[in-house]
Amino acid sequence: MKINLLKTALIGALSLSALVSTSASAHGRWLLPSHTSLSGDKAHYVMIDASISNEMFAPDKAFKPKEKGAEYDDTLLMALAPNGEPVSETIRAYYLKRKSSAAVSLTEQGTYHIAMTQKPMYMTFYKNEEGKRKRVFGKKTEAELPSNAKDVTTTKVVSTVDTFVSRNGTSKPAQLGLGLELSGPTHPNDLFVGEQARFQLLQDGKSAGEGVEVSILKGDTRYRNERGEVKVTTDKDGMFTITWKEPGLYLIETSNKVTVNEEGVDAGRYALFTTLEVAPE
């Protein structure tokens, strides 16, 4: 039951990076939680903002609701409770022009895995009569292309945009099981300056393998002349490490090519955008 619900909810888990490598992505997709750790006897709400922006965690472009002209979308976000089951309460994300915003109720103790649930993105690339590379959205069988378009190819992008929030202590986060995502051994809500974190990059629930470049970018990029990305590469087990130098919010971004057996699609790519918070020493 849980697996079927997840595949229904995540059958595409979001958006496109710039389709290329992590560092070349001009605009990041991200979730921004109001808190990553909460405590208390009563259930809490955590606010989740979602946006697309070049200045990290500074909202710029909201995700439009599924229904044209609607003020909110009940299908934009999903959350897995500490027991691994999707939360039953509807997560209503309001469309606020530059960001989408929702409240998620944390009724159980442990770690919630919160993610976006948009559909796959199809992009068709071609060269025009001048030999310049162009792009339109949609499959080549559906897209409006010039009659003289050459070297036409379609790429399918399946992205995961997620974060983690814990209430009254941490627990092992439930896995989405589809696309790219982070796993332990370091817990995503147990990060401190000066300490080394070790993560495993998963692809469809298994190790993503060796040689995948991961970009780690601290937020508040509008206040720095240099973006200051840190790049690491996964080992044979899909593992990578990072020692945190400053507290704050970080975006973990990566992508990887995948094989797609779908009519009208020539290539596939998974992308990942994970928000983590690092605490002071």
Task: For residue range 165-197, list pLDDT tens digits in order.
Answer: 999 999 999 999 999 999 999 999 999 999 999
* pLDDT > 70? residue 40: yes
Q: 268: which residues sit within 8 A by CB, 6+ positions away?
A: 155, 156, 157, 158, 257, 258, 259, 260
Question: Residue range 114-134: average pLDDT?
Answer: 89
Per the structure, the count of domains in the chain is 1
CATH of the domain at 248: 2.60.40.10
Instruction: Say if 240 falls within a structural domain.
Output: yes
- Residue 28's DSSP bridge partners are 53
According to DSSP, residue 72 is labeled E
Residue 131, in any domain of the structure: no
71-116 pLDDT, tens digit each: 999 999 999 999 999 999 999 999 999 999 999 999 999 999 999 9
Residue 35 lies in a domain: yes
Residue whose token pair is 């605009």: 27
Asked, for residue 210, whether it belongs to a domain, the answer is yes
Here the tokens at position 263 are 């009519």
Q: Are strands 44-53 and 28-33 parallel, antiparallel or unpaired?
A: antiparallel
In a domain, 184, yes or no: yes
Query: Could you give the CA distance from residue 38 to residue 50 in angstroms, rounded to a whole number?
Result: 20
How far does CA 173 lie from the centroid of its chain?
15
Average pLDDT, the chain: 89
134 found inside a domain: no
Residue range 126-147: average pLDDT?
89
| Strand locations in 85-212 (E) | 93-95, 100-106, 110-116, 121-127, 133-137, 150-167, 180-183, 196-203, 206-207
In a domain, 221, yes or no: yes
> 173: which 2 tokens?
């986060």
How many whole angstroms from its chain centre is CA 96? Answer: 20
pTM: 0.87
Range of the domain at 253: 2-120+155-275
